[in-house]
Structure 1
Amino acid sequence: MRRVASGLTALAVVVAIGACSVGTPETATHTGTPTGPPAGTDTGTRSATREGPEYLVFYTEGGQSRAQQAVERAGGTTLANDAKLGYLTTTGGGATFAEKAGADGSIVGVSPDRSIGFAELGRAAPATRRTGGAKARAGTFPDARSFTSSGSGEPLAGRQWDMRMIGADRANAKVPGSRQVLVGVIDTGVDGKHPDIAPNFNRELSRNFVTDKPKDETGETLDGPCEVSSCKDPVDEDDDGHGTHVASTIAAPINGIGIAGVAPGVQIVNIRAGQDSGFFFLKPSLDALTYAGDIGVDVVNMSYYVDPWLFNCTANKADSRKEQLEQAAIITGMQRALDYARQRGVTLVSALGNGSTDLGHPKIDKESPGYPVGEKKTRQVDNSCLNVPAESNGVISVAGLGPSGRKAIYSDYGVEQADVSAPGGDALDGNGAKATRSILGAAPEQVLRAAGRIDAKGEPKGADVVKDCARGTCAYYQYLDGTSMAAPHATGVAAILISRFGKPGKAGLELAPATVEDLLYKTATPKACPTPRQYVYKAYGQDMTQLCEGDQADNGFFGHGVVDAWKAATVEP
């Protein structure tokens, strides 16, 4: 289980947000019916006017009244109260609002109006990537470039070394997953029209909790021009591609097209919290988790970290008091939302991170604050600082593996932090660099066109993109690597376990998150630290040494082991 920063859960926190409206449902066949107002709907009284930036004011248990008084004394106005997570939405107060409100004992954090999140982006593995890397050790899987369509399974199954590594290719036939299981993808969106996602995409339950921002506060391009007049994309659109790749790893159907996911029979619910540009606001993340809990989602995949702080420290001497309070806001707000969802039956799965960092012994953070651009600074950090949500309480965090089975060079690690491991891809896991050592997943055609990865005729320009036209329907796929790609493998295995052991509930099948976690660990294949424990990765002409701590049952590189879909499909109760 993840650590909880002591003394924060009972404190009031303020964090600025941008305006965010609720996604509009569309008609589709589904199991599970939304009850009550959509997540993110305010439950309190709204002021008729808004002055300046808005803020979220998290208050102590029973402290709503005192928090409202503090806001008023600071010159602000309360717009709404979210009783589920215990925070006020406020506006006004002018340039000194943060300092005045933060002086009250019931408030521990005031943040300026800013985006505070960034996707844990999967990194493309193009053929032109620089060469260099560790030599393959007893490689279990040949380079995927040599594969052709296999004699059985989906047309591109031969390229899915990741599914064979965890036994998903065999589990598909035995336990493909139940249609009563809902998997929420909290990400940049999902291309619900992609031929290899559409059959399992639940459009009616899907929501978009973000509004595109063409430019940031400095006038620099952020999301770019809005695709629709409202700047709020439809629930079946993904203009980044990250969420679509994740969704296909979880549940691409067995339909004679492209690939198959870990659990090809379950339903995907798009619960979008990320901008087109990959940045995440806190408010959409809170709304997404609350919504997942309200509608009966069984498991959510979170392949991102809440930013602008890669590491959130509440008392770092390198930070101003204002910055410390902002980081306290991120820790507190997200923990409340995660707790809310978990208490309502949502199993929480997160990517561990791509910084090649021992999260149990972090030393330097050069990436924060990551937004707006140009504000980064170098600061010393320690184990009291948290990566959110990977290190939040109640979250199953997943480290990434390369095709040889080693911990991927980029994957973060740590005894307290790595719960399980799964294929995330590693283009450098072998001689030179090869795109096909990464994870193949669905990609929106418009995203590939915009990135220049396919030509005017729709043909791929490099080995990182694959076009499949089986059954006369063409679909695109892309190789990506990252812990973003590892997490959905674990999410898919969790969906298999819920399909097998879940009991009928309000929206389909239900299985307590603690039980899912125990079963996920029980069915994982234990993997010991490498010998020697100080493993040396060779990349780009440099050596990178990473120390694996712990025993075979639980260690910093592989956690409780490599997730195993076949064991999940066959384990006895």
Structure 2
Amino acid sequence: MRKIVLSSAVSVTLVAATLAATQTASSADPTSTAAPAAAAGGAAVRTAGEYVVVYDEGTTDAAARAAIAAAGGTVVSSNESVGYAFVRTESEQFAAAAAAAPGLLGAAANRRIGTSPDGADEADDAVERLTATVADAADGAVLQSSRGKGPKGPGAEPLADLQWDMAAIDATAEGSHAVQPGSDKVSVGIIDTGVDGSHPDLAPNFDAETSRNFVTDLPEIDGPCEVETCVDPADVDEGGHGTHVAGTVAAAVNGLGIAGVAPEVNLVNLRAGQDSGYFFLQPTLDAITYAADSGVDVVNMSFYVDPWLFNCQANPADSPEEQAEQRVTVAAVQRAIDYARDNGVLPVGAAGNAATDLGAPGVDASSPNFPVDEEGNPVGARERTIDNSTCLSVPAESAGVVTVTSTGPSGRKAYYSNYGTEQADVAAPGGDAYDTPNGRVDVTAQILSTYPENVLAAEGAIDENGEPTTPSVVREVAEDGTSAYYRYLQGTSMAAPHAAGVAALIVSEYGENDPAHPGTLTLDPSLTEALLLGTAEDVACPVPAEFTYRRVTAAGETVTTATCAGPADVNGFYGQGVVNAVDAVTAF
């Protein structure tokens, strides 16, 4: 659920010292009233003097704008329905003035969401990519391969035997696809680094008309802009993470590559992540609220809000200004989530990849992870003791989000996955490269999904002839010469889209005509959530409840533990169970 510096939108840091590498979970040209300023040509370049200001409940947009002006700010755009504004200011006292202004809840600096600081330890960061570097570190051994363990029955796609994850939740040609493959009247929004709408396995389901990019590339962090305006088209992914997520949700059944959980639903790109993997608060809010206004039924959110791993109400290790910023961030995201659910959207989010019990998180030593120095190291990070009752990982712990933990091929909770009796709603396959009998690396124990050719080429993961240079990449060439690429990744970022896909199947099966968006279906998010959780297959805690993980690489052996709590029908590892596509669409 984080980014990779090689590419993606998930700042994916690879598996630490011996697993050197890369890892998520924004935008230009929205046209909805949720982001009126961006409609004129994309989000503005972000500076140190930019803030998201949240209104007090009941404050009108006009009154809030007046208060912002009095505090020394200039409104760039605002969203009266949710109650926030994007503001620029030259005043160093603006945040304090906004917090004290009548009608305003406060201001949060418009910083990134979803990235990990360079050099961070694997225990603190998401592990979402296993590249050739990792395979080499493990003596190149791919043991107990899961190849051939996926479904390969009649009607299955060519790479279906590599999709153990779909077999695990019965989202196969002979399973849920035979009952309900999804409806093109249902849409899933991918809030991520973008979606490659030209990928041959995504193009049949890609909704270019509804898709939006809420991000302007910033050369100082993203590198040279690909287009003159620095605003990428809404069908581009320069990171890779969002395209991978999209394929798990809805790769088409077209005789090529793989099939997604819901292979006939619409995919909507709601880009909120920079090429570099940074996710700023304002584009993320705009993406969530645009989803609500545009008739999207489910959104996948494989990210968390930076610069704070945990946003706390009043942590004594933080300054008063930092405390206020975190409170505003929690409130702003919650407002957007509430608005989305009130308008027919079910938000699905990743639990995170720090192997942490979110009910007892302990010490956070990585926050704030932005700003950074010239070497990319966070300048303000320090140890903070995290109080579970007043600190939240956002949006995973935001109310109304279906939070998903990750499992490996054996069904165990993935070693990196966060968990918690209060936080885990359901579990889904997210991959675990060490889920093997001897704890050695197996690339195919991760999740295979769609990936952009341009990103692979930029990373050197394919050569000049288009052939993969790493076992984590698979190339598929159809009889007509069409070439498509797929990549193995692991993380709760990969687990969440499995749940989002099942939610889309539920809306497809039980939804009703949406009068607000003619020609589409809708279902109350509370009903979608109830069916998603209620049809998940119960998985009891392991015995003993303290589960031991063994990871073996060329550098040595690592042993860690995680303790599961709760009964079989609802516990910290699996929530209310592992999602099941067939059960979800045959509940009645």
Q: Given the two structures, how large is their TM-score scaled by the length of structure 2? A: 0.84
Q: SS of the counterpart of 1:489?
A: helix
- Note the 1:26-105 alignment, pairs <5 A: 37-41=32-36, 53-64=49-60, 67-68=64-65, 70-104=67-101
Q: How far is the alpha carbon of 1:20 from its aligned partner?
A: 6.0
Matched, 1:360 2:356: no
Q: Kindly tell me: are residues 52 and 529 of structure 1, through their superposed partners in 2, closer, same or farther at Cα, counting changes over 3 Å?
A: closer
For residue 449 of structure 1, the aligned residue among 444, 457, 474 is 457
Residues 504-544 of structure 1 deviation map (CA, whole Å, 9 limit, x = unaligned): 11331111011011101121100000000111112252221
1:467 is aligned with what amino acid?
Answer: R
Partner of 1:254: 253
CA RMSD after TM alignment: 2.4
For residue 434 of structure 1, the aligned residue among 430, 433, 442 is 442
1:56 is aligned with what amino acid?
Answer: V
CA contact 1:51–1:92 (8 Å) conserved in 2: no
Partner of 1:398: 404
The alignment-based identity, stated in percent, is 52
2:536 is aligned with what amino acid?
Answer: A
CA contact 2:111–2:306 (8 Å) conserved in 1: no
Taking the aligned partners of 1:122 and 1:203, their CA distance within structure 2 comes to 31
Q: SS of the counterpart of 1:124?
A: coil
Taking the aligned partners of 1:335 and 1:213, their CA distance within structure 2 comes to 27
Q: How far is the alpha carbon of 1:434 from its aligned partner?
A: 1.2
Q: Kindly tell me: are residues 359 and 147 of structure 1, through their superposed partners in 2, closer, same or farther at Cα, counting changes over 3 Å?
A: closer
2:463 is aligned with what amino acid?
Answer: D
Taking the aligned partners of 2:255 and 2:457, their CA distance within structure 1 comes to 25
Partner of 2:15: none
Residues 339-370 of structure 1 deviation map (CA, whole Å, 9 limit, x = unaligned): 00100010110011001000011111122112
Matched, 1:567 2:571: no
CA contact 1:155–1:470 (8 Å) conserved in 2: no
Q: Kindly tell me: are residues 113 and 398 of structure 1, through their superposed partners in 2, closer, same or farther at Cα, counting changes over 3 Å?
A: closer
Matched, 1:188 2:204: no
- Note the 1:106-185 alignment, pairs <5 A: 106-118=103-115, 123-129=128-134, 130-131=137-138, 143-145=145-147, 150=152, 152=154, 153-169=156-172, 170-185=175-190
Q: Kindly tell me: are residues 88 and 550 of structure 1, through their superposed partners in 2, closer, same or farther at Cα, counting changes over 3 Å?
A: same
Q: SS of the counterpart of 1:520?
A: helix
1:57 is aligned with what amino acid?
Answer: V
Partner of 2:29: 22
Taking the aligned partners of 2:587 and 2:531, their CA distance within structure 1 comes to 9
Q: SS of the counterpart of 2:85?
A: strand
CA contact 1:185–1:302 (8 Å) conserved in 2: yes
2:542 is aligned with what amino acid?
Answer: P
Residues 179-231 of structure 1 deviation map (CA, whole Å, 9 limit, x = unaligned): 1111111110000000000000010010001111111xxxxxx2111100111
Matched, 1:557 2:563: no
Q: SS of the counterpart of 2:222?
A: coil
Residues 43-68 of structure 1 deviation map (CA, whole Å, 9 limit, x = unaligned): 9xxxxxx9982322212123346655
Q: SS of the counterpart of 2:93?
A: helix
1:62 is aligned with what amino acid?
Answer: G
When structure 1 is superposed on structure 2, of 448-457 and 73-82 the one drifting more is: 73-82
2:401 is aligned with what amino acid?
Answer: V
2:326 is aligned with what amino acid?
Answer: Q
For residue 410 of structure 1, the aligned residue among 396, 409, 416 is 416
Matched, 1:498 2:507: yes
For residue 394 of structure 2, the aligned residue among 371, 388, 398 is 388
Aligned residues: 523
- Note the 1:250-329 alignment, pairs <5 A: 250-329=249-328
When structure 1 is superposed on structure 2, of 522-531 and 84-93 the one drifting more is: 84-93
CA contact 1:402–1:425 (8 Å) conserved in 2: yes
- Note the 1:463-474 alignment, pairs <5 A: 463-471=471-479, 472-474=481-483
CA contact 1:22–1:38 (8 Å) conserved in 2: no
Q: How far is the alpha carbon of 1:443 from its aligned partner?
A: 0.5
Partner of 2:203: 198
> Structure 1: which 5+ residue stretches go unaligned?
1-18, 25-36, 44-49, 137-141, 216-221
CA contact 1:355–1:411 (8 Å) conserved in 2: yes
CA contact 1:409–1:537 (8 Å) conserved in 2: yes
Q: Kindly tell me: are residues 403 and 420 of structure 1, through their superposed partners in 2, closer, same or farther at Cα, counting changes over 3 Å?
A: same
CA contact 1:126–1:463 (8 Å) conserved in 2: yes
Residues 398-428 of structure 1 deviation map (CA, whole Å, 9 limit, x = unaligned): 0000001000000000011000000000001
Residues 77-125 of structure 1 deviation map (CA, whole Å, 9 limit, x = unaligned): 4455421111234333422323333344654544445334438966112
Partner of 2:550: 538
1:519 is aligned with what amino acid?
Answer: L
Taking the aligned partners of 2:347 and 2:466, their CA distance within structure 1 comes to 37
Q: Kindly tell me: are residues 461 and 417 of structure 1, through their superposed partners in 2, closer, same or farther at Cα, counting changes over 3 Å?
A: same
Q: How far is the alpha carbon of 1:568 from its aligned partner?
A: 1.6
> Structure 2: which 5+ residue stretches go unaligned?
1-25, 39-45, 117-124, 373-377
Q: Kindly tell me: are residues 455 and 93 of structure 1, through their superposed partners in 2, closer, same or farther at Cα, counting changes over 3 Å?
A: closer
2:323 is aligned with what amino acid?
Answer: Q
Residues 6-62 of structure 1 deviation map (CA, whole Å, 9 limit, x = unaligned): xxxxxxxxxxxxx964247xxxxxxxxxxxx3531159xxxxxx9982322212123
Taking the aligned partners of 2:115 and 2:199, their CA distance within structure 1 comes to 24
CA contact 1:299–1:495 (8 Å) conserved in 2: yes
Q: How far is the alpha carbon of 1:371 from its aligned partner?
A: 2.0
Partner of 2:340: 341
CA contact 2:288–2:340 (8 Å) conserved in 1: yes
CA contact 1:127–1:433 (8 Å) conserved in 2: no
Q: Kindly tell me: are residues 21 and 127 of structure 1, through their superposed partners in 2, closer, same or farther at Cα, counting changes over 3 Å?
A: closer
Q: Kindly tell me: are residues 148 and 310 of structure 1, through their superposed partners in 2, closer, same or farther at Cα, counting changes over 3 Å?
A: closer
Q: SS of the counterpart of 2:348?
A: strand
Residues 450-486 of structure 1 deviation map (CA, whole Å, 9 limit, x = unaligned): 1111111111112100000023211000000000000
When structure 1 is superposed on structure 2, of 60-69 and 165-174 the one drifting more is: 60-69
Taking the aligned partners of 1:496 and 1:74, their CA distance within structure 2 comes to 48
Q: SS of the counterpart of 1:183?
A: strand
For residue 514 of structure 1, the aligned residue among 526, 544, 547 is 526
Q: How far is the alpha carbon of 1:336 from its aligned partner?
A: 0.4
1:554 is aligned with what amino acid?
Answer: V
